[in-house]
Structure 1
Amino acid sequence: MRSYGQYCGLARSLEVVGDRWNLLIVRQLLIAPARYRDLIDGLPGIATNLLADRLRDLETSGVIERRLASAGSVVEYALTPWGAELRRPIESLIRWSTPLMLRGPEGDSFRPEWLALAVPALLDTRVEVRPSAAIGLEIGGPPLQLRSTPSGFAVGPHDGRALDATVRADPACILGLAAGALTLSDARALGLVEIDGDESVVRTVLAA
């Protein structure tokens, strides 16, 4: 492991997770434990040999672990309890990134599963009143759902339960609404979003 040679918590943290791709690997594993092939698919642009090196380094450092998946003898990667503590700093970086996200994807890759971490991170610090709500998100691809409870928000595949409303928009619009950088009224006026169902529920969550 490369060392900065500094007795500083930030320096020592960066020695573990500061290399290129490391935090994105952690992002994928915060969404869910994953097999090697799942990580390749979820990290567009990473070379297979580089992923293998990064996984080995993170495992050696105690951030991730290998284990048998519940279905048979397939090996999957998961965060250790210590590795899972990276959720809060990663969510803080997602919130910090809002000015960088305003210009849109500009041709960059996007996977809907990334909203599972980003949208709750953006909403959790803005929405003070959290009524029970279920909002479908149609962003192109398999439908997602945003559920809110008094304890927090979660985004994942639609599980078939009834929805209060459905929002159709591109990912940049959803992120802008969740961050508070785009108002729902402006998004409607610009034709960036369509809403079916109870719009008041959408406003309670996304227009706080």
Structure 2
Amino acid sequence: MSRSYGQYCGLARALDVVGDRWNLLIVRQLLIAPARYRELLDGLGGVATNLLTDRLRDLETAGVVERRLAEEGNAIAYALTPWGAELREPIESLVRWSTPLMMRGPDGDRFHAEWLVVALRALFTGKASAHRSTVGVAVDGRLLQLSATPSGVEVSLHDGRDLDAVVRAEAQIVLGLAAGELALNDTLGLVEIEGDAAAVQALFNHHRSSHASSDR
């Protein structure tokens, strides 16, 4: 890397690789899915083209990112290497830590609903539901899906499968429900539910009770 803290410390060396501005947000985008350069540029919202090029080059040199052929056509897509994908755990820990900062809403900041894929996965880590269901979450015109099973909750962009229910709400409400800071009963008039309301109750209320138990 071009800059180094020059310290023989695991945190310092990790920050040598991913501590520069935009690096972890590039990783966030690639945790959602491999992406072409233009998709990264659009998804990051605000990064300069020359800076993105530099950051991708640095991350590739460090072994965090690799280039591969996109699934369609001959375009190049960027993806995380297996080592780069191990950044999911510290990134998800930071997302959980950020909950108090997120509850006040965007406050004029840029927001892309796809970013919730990483955030919701982080907030549901270690949680499970006895009620198997696939619930859609619609925010700002984008549809995500939460697939709940006894082994955990998987979060992704909607892949076209049938949904048991769809929840429509503002991003901060969805995050509050997922973090266990809000219950559905707290959000009357702020959340619209279509379909199986019991599936939504089982997903979010079970998560809330698990969260509350872990805080004791």
Q: Same fold (TM over 0.5)?
A: yes
Partner of 1:76: 77
Matched to 1:93, the amino acid is L
State how 1:135-150 maps to structure 2 within 5 Å: 135-150=135-150
Contact 1:40 1:48 in 2 (8 A): yes
| Larger CA deviation: 191-200 vs 78-87 | 191-200
The answer for the alignment partner of 1:59 in structure 2 is 60
1:6, distance to aligned residue in structure 2 (A): 1.2
1:149-160 correspondence to structure 2 within 5 Å: 149-160=149-160
Cα distance change on mapping 1:70 and 1:128 into 2, 3 Å: closer
Matched residue, 1:173: 173
The equivalent residue for 2:182 is 182
CA distance in 2, matches of 1:56, 1:88: 23
Paired position in structure 2 for 1:196: 194
Residues 157 and 3 (structure 1 numbering): CA distance in 2 closer, same or farther, change over 3 Å?
closer
Which residue does the alignment assign to 1:34?
35
Aligned runs of 1:123-138 on 2, under 5 Å? 123-125=124-126, 127-138=127-138
Is the contact made by 2:69 and 2:77 (CA closer than 8 Å) also made in structure 1?
A: yes
Opposite residue 134 of structure 1, the aligned amino acid is: T
Q: Which moved more, 1:150-159 or 1:169-178?
A: 150-159
Structure 2: distance between partners of 1:164 and 1:124? 21
Unaligned ranges ≥5, structure 2: 207-216
- Matching residue's letter, 2:94: L
The gaps in structure 1 that reach 5 residues or longer are: none
Q: Which runs of 4+ in 1 moved over 6 A?
A: none
State the shift of 1:129 in Å: 3.5
Q: Percent identical across equivalent pairs? A: 65
Q: Give 3-state SS (helix, strand or coil) of 1:181's partner.
A: coil
Q: Which amino acid aligns with 1:61?
A: A
What is the deviation of 1:177?
A: 0.5
Contact 1:134 1:163 in 2 (8 A): yes
* 1:46-74 Cα distance to aligned partner (Å, 9 max, x none): 00000001001000100001111122321
Letter in structure 2 aligned against 1:12: R
Deviation at 1:130, TM superposition (A): 4.6
Contact 1:116 1:154 in 2 (8 A): no
- May I ask how many residue pairs the two structures share in their alignment? 205
Aligned equivalents of 1:117, 1:88: Cα separation in 2: 11
Task: State the TM-score, normalizing by the size of structure 1.
Answer: 0.93
Quote the Cα distance in structure 2 between the aligned partners of 1:72 and 1:129: 39
